[in-house]
Amino acid sequence: MIQFKQAGICVFQSALYQTTSTVIDTPDLVLVVDPNWLPHEVQEIVCYVDSIKGTRPVYLLFTHSDYDHIIGWKAFPDAITIASEAFVQNPAKDKEVEQIISFDDKHYIKRNYPIEYPDIQIVIRQDEDFLSFEHTRIRFWLAPGHNADGLFALLEPYGVWIAGDYLSDVEFPFIYHSLEDYQMTLEKASNIAGKARPKVLVPGHGQICQNIPEMGKRIIFSQQYLQAILRHAKGEEVFDETALLVQYDFPKGLRSIHQDNLNLIIKSISKS
């Protein structure tokens, strides 16, 4: 379904985990981000892109390599792909593909395109790398922390900030990779919100956000969550898990992720 649409931007939302897929069209190009999850949902995005693209090239951006975000790659076989260098160097490509195959197998899902780990044509290597077109510029920042290969993208002059699996309103930070990296990525988020003043923030899961104070709140919430869970892991303070989970519509699934976050942090403290 379509969660949000206005001139030049259409945000699709999957029935699963409220995962977003974004399509942005500018005079130069059509940019598709993380097309996902179910076959008919991916097909809806393919049809939409076909209906608007005309003669413009289609670019396909992957915000990170978690399997739900790469599941629709081959539905856009002619698109020019973009992702971070760490995405290209992901040592567990097979694992991501295996997760897609297991998911489809478990749910008896057939797709009319092959499942493969994306080949990337445009590799983003550092913060402030950008792609420039006559009317469009796409700026990038490396955004590790949630996983190792995240990427923020800001479409200028449209002010659309694609955040990947950060700054969601339906889940707290999921730390699959590194607390420190996550904190640094939130610093970058804070700079982007403060300096570039985006008009629309699109998280990987949940609702878009159209105002800076709300973006700021999401950033601060994430920072406070990370600080609180770190203090808890160090034994300095007790984390109020009930108060955290009561804020969410889907607390059952989130409880174990919070526990995983805590385990990851305890492990990293014991190593240092």
86: burial class by Cβ within 10 Å (0-12, 13-18, 19+)?
A: buried
| Calpha distance 5→254 (Å, rounded) | 29
Residue type, 218: R
Q: Read off the DSSP letter of residue 107.
A: T
We find the least distance from the C-beta atom of residue 17 to Zn ion, in angstroms, to be 7
Can you count the helices (H) and strands (E) in the chain?
Answer: 8, 12
Angle between helices 251-271 and 179-191 (to 10 degrees): 110
Q: Nearest approach, Cβ of 197 to Zn ion (angstroms)?
A: 26
Residue 41 or 68: the one with the smaller Cβ distance to Zn ion is 68
The distance of closest approach from Cβ of residue 261 to Zn ion in the complex, given in angstroms and rounded to an integer, is: 15
DSSP assignment string, 128-181: T-EEE-SS-EEEEEE--SSSSS-EEEEEETTTEEEEESSS-SSS----SS-HHH
Alpha carbon of 106 to those of 14, 109, 115: distances in Å?
Answer: 18, 8, 15
Nearest CB to Zn ion, comparing residues 66 and 169: 66
Of the pair 25, 68, the CB lying nearest Zn ion is at 68
Minimum distance, C-beta of residue 16 to Zn ion, in the bound complex (Å) = 10
Q: Which is nearer to Zn ion, 25 or 165 (CB)?
A: 165
Measured between alpha carbons, how far is residue 156 from residues 127, 140, 249 in Å? 16, 11, 34
Contacts with Zn ion by CB under 5 A lie at 66, 68, 165, 204
| Between 23 and 29, CB nearer to Zn ion | 23
Cβ 221 to Zn ion, closest distance in Å? 18
Residue 238 CB, shortest distance to Zn ion, in Å, is 29
CA distances from 58 to 15, 52, 84, 184, 203 (A): 25, 10, 18, 31, 21
Q: Nearer to Zn ion by C-beta: 50 or 98?
A: 98
Q: How far is the CB of 147 from Zn ion (least distance, A)?
A: 9
Task: Please give the single-letter amino acid code of residue 116.
Answer: E
Which C-beta is closer to Zn ion: that of 158 or that of 166? 166
Q: 46: which 2 tokens?
A: 């393919």
The 3-state DSSP class for residue 85 equals helix
How many other β-carbons are positioned within 10 Å of the β-carbon of residue 11? 22
